[in-house]
Amino acid sequence: MQGADKAFPVSWDMFHRDARALAWRLAAIGGFSAIVAVTRGGLAPAAVVARELGIRVVETVGVGSYHEENERGEVQVLKPLTETILARPSAEVLIIDDLVDTGATAKVVRDMLPKAHFATIYAKPQGLPMVDTFITEVSQDTWIFFPWDTGLSFQAPIGRPDARPEGRRRRSL
């Protein structure tokens, strides 16, 4: 959680609701014939949006900027766009990612498809200029815990971050 002071856990239900809300906004715009999911975070929202909008051409672009899951490094293209996408008018392409943080990853993908529509579920202030459509803005110092990155565990109360579950009495089921 490099540089993040706040935690924002997202459950599968919240994520699905927000991905559908993104699809509603994108449906109002229309004109999309293909989706490019930015892997890995864009895979889950792209699946929901593709289903909701009836888009069957879904491709990926692999872009990495995190190492050890929380340390940001240089942005690298790990898997380039396919000819299937590059042959289409980029204005018909919808780029989907889970989050825009600093905008570094989004800029790399936008440079590949400058007229494509870029949509994310969550957006931080530094990355906002790179995104056309998003659902929820969070502060720059917030770390989003996506449902595929977490499991069920004790959460300390916000007012008592040092609270530990060890001292709590366990209840039998």
Q: In what order do the strands lie in the sheet with 58-67?
A: 71-79, 58-67, 34-39, 93-100, 117-123, 136-137
The answer to whether 141 is a known catalytic residue is no
The answer to whether 101 is a known catalytic residue is yes
13 is in an annotated binding site: no
101 is in an annotated binding site: yes
111 is in an annotated binding site: no
Q: Is the dihedral of CA 71, 107, 60, 10 positive or negative?
A: positive
Give me the catalytic one of 98, 111, 132, 149: 98
- Rounded Cα distance between 130 and 165, Å, is 41
Give me the catalytic one of 5, 18, 97, 111: 97
97 is in an annotated binding site: yes
40 is in an annotated binding site: yes
Give me the catalytic one of 101, 132, 141, 149: 101
- Rounded Cα distance between 148 and 141, Å, is 21
The answer to whether 97 is a known catalytic residue is yes
143 is in an annotated binding site: yes
Extract the annotated binding site for xanthine. Answer: 101, 144
Active-site positions read 97-98, 101
Extract the annotated binding site. Answer: 40-41, 97-105, 143-144
